[in-house]
Structure 1
Amino acid sequence: MAYKVVNEFIDTHDNNTHYLVGEEYPKTGSKPTKKRIEELSKPHPEYKCVFIEEVKAEKKAKE
């Protein structure tokens, strides 16, 4: 699955990698755990926002 960054953050679980809005998560070479993806996909208890969301593949319309 592919994810995109919706709120800028520094991933303290990945050598303090800095992610900007619109970037792909994870960056090349990183392999986050399912738990980490879930943490970033749900509202953070302190910051009250999500940091990544799943990119859903668009279905092409038949012409």
Structure 2
Amino acid sequence: MYKVIKYFTDLHDKDHPYNVGDTFPRAGIEVTEERLKELAGSDNKQGTPLIELVEEKKPSSQKAPAKRTAAKASTKK
């Protein structure tokens, strides 16, 4: 999944506007790897990256182990 980092209108999608924070591409639109590279790099009409790859977080099936704290030793004299 890609996230828009700079406003642009997609010339390959009937000038559809993409605002900062939008997901690219929008639902129902197929985009080539070449187009993704173009928009994520500076080889586009704005000359600057317009989208960035967002790593999707997968839910963990295992729970993280509980943290244990060391008990303080009593120093009574």
| TM-score, length-scaled by structure 2 | 0.68
Higher strand fraction: Structure 1 or Structure 2?
1
> For structure 1, which runs of at least 5 residues remain unmatched after alignment?
none
Specify the SS of the correspondent of 2:52: strand
Q: Could you say what the CA RMSD is over the residues aligned between the two structures, in angstroms?
A: 2.1
Q: Which has the higher contact order (CA 8 A, sep 6+)?
A: 1
The alignment of Structure 1 onto Structure 2 pairs a total of residues equal to 62
Bigger mean CA deviation after superposition, 21-30 or 38-47: 38-47
State which structure, 1 or 2, has the greater radius of gyration over its C-alpha atoms.
2
Instruction: Report how far residue 45 of structure 1 moved.
Output: 5.6
Give the % identical residues. Answer: 32
Q: How many Å separate the matches in 2 of 1:25 and 1:45?
A: 15
